[in-house]
Amino acid sequence: MACSDKMDTIFIDINCDVGEGTGLETELMPLISSCNIACGGHAGNLDTIAEVARSAKENGVKVGAHPSYPDTENFGRVSMSISEFDLTKSIRRQIDDFASILKKENIPFNHIKAHGALYNDIAKDSDLAKIFVKSIEGYQDIASIYVPYGSAIEAEALQRGFQVKYEGFADRNYNRNLSLVSRKLPEAVITDPEKVLKHLLQMVREKYIATIDGLKIYSKAETFCVHGDTPSVVQILNYLSLELPKLKIQIKNCCLTPYLSDLWNSCCFGGMAERGRRGHIRRYSAILPIPKNTLSKRERLGDDTCLQFTYSCSE
């Protein structure tokens, strides 16, 4: 695919569901910019939350909670008949446990993204969306919510004072009502990296979703999910990391530490980047007008007003 030299670079967020037992986190973290950590509803426990959150922090990846129906048997991918009291109690416990671990690890709580059937149900059911948002009240000033554009959860979250981030699914096919094609059908998941890239580009550049039956429907998205249990997830993310920069699209975190990742995302500064085999930033040299006491020991190479550094990370 070709890209015009006149086209401005677009920075996007790639998120991935992690802590679900796949064991791929070490490979995934350098290739994404935010992650959704299972917090006990469908998978995960206190130990895995802490372990995966620390890995995300080391890779400059923003950390979010991934609550679900309390259903480990079905991996949270089946709608449940559950009382409002029990669902509220479960979600609140998942989020509170998650938040306490992040506080202990000194990791910012970036977002909340529901998992599986719960995500799909609160997208279309206003009453269930109200229950979900009520369950996470108190986190409005801390975390945003990842939501589908035009959904019930979007409307309820905004009404209750939450910030929302619109999400698109790079590795899933859509129905014409913008629901996801059921996983019971063979075409539900997109596993070919080239097809994932094409699907993603339509959402990023053209602002539409191509449905399974060929319609093009307008939508908004600023964060894009590749599921951590998609069979070819590592191959997909490697391919995106290589191909997106050629199209002037950058994944936000660029494999920098949390502080430098935020700086990269919010500022424009001169420098030279060297990319590794996977396409993410392996070495970056620049001069930054920032105090050295804000950086970790291994990055303190300059004076108090202007820092010249070379940042390196392994592939």
Residues 133 and 53 occupy one common structural domain = yes
Are 79 and 108 members of one domain? Answer: yes
Co-location of 285 and 243 in the same domain: no
Identify whether residues 197 and 288 lie together within a single domain. Answer: no
pLDDT tens digit string along 91-108? 999 999 999 999 999 999
> CB under 8 Å to 28, separation ≥6 — which residues?
16, 18, 35, 228, 233, 234, 237
107 lies in a domain?
yes
Q: What is the per-residue pLDDT across 244-278, written as a single tens digit (0 to 9) for each? A: 999 999 998 644 444 444 444 444 344 444 444 44
pLDDT value of position 300: 33
**What's 52's domain CATH number?**
3.20.20.370
DSSP state of 75: T
How far is it, in rounded angstroms, from Cα 42 to Cα 20? 8
Does residue 3 lie in a domain region? no
Q: Are residues 156 and 274 in the same domain?
A: no
Residue 258 lies in a domain: no
Based on the fold, state whether residues 158 and 285 are members of the same structural domain: no
Looking at the structure, do residues 30 and 66 belong to the same domain, yes or no? yes
Cβ(253)–Cβ(63) under 8 Å? no
Residues 230 and 290 in one domain: no
Q: How many domains does the chain divide into?
A: 2
Q: Taking the model in full, what pTM does it have?
A: 0.80
**Which residues are bridge partners to 17 per DSSP?**
36
Residue 7 confidence (pLDDT): 72
Q: For position 109, what pLDDT does the model report?
A: 98
Structural domain containing residue 304: 264-312
Q: Which parts of the chain register pLDDT below 70?
A: 1-6, 253-315
Asked if residue 2 is part of any domain, the answer here is no
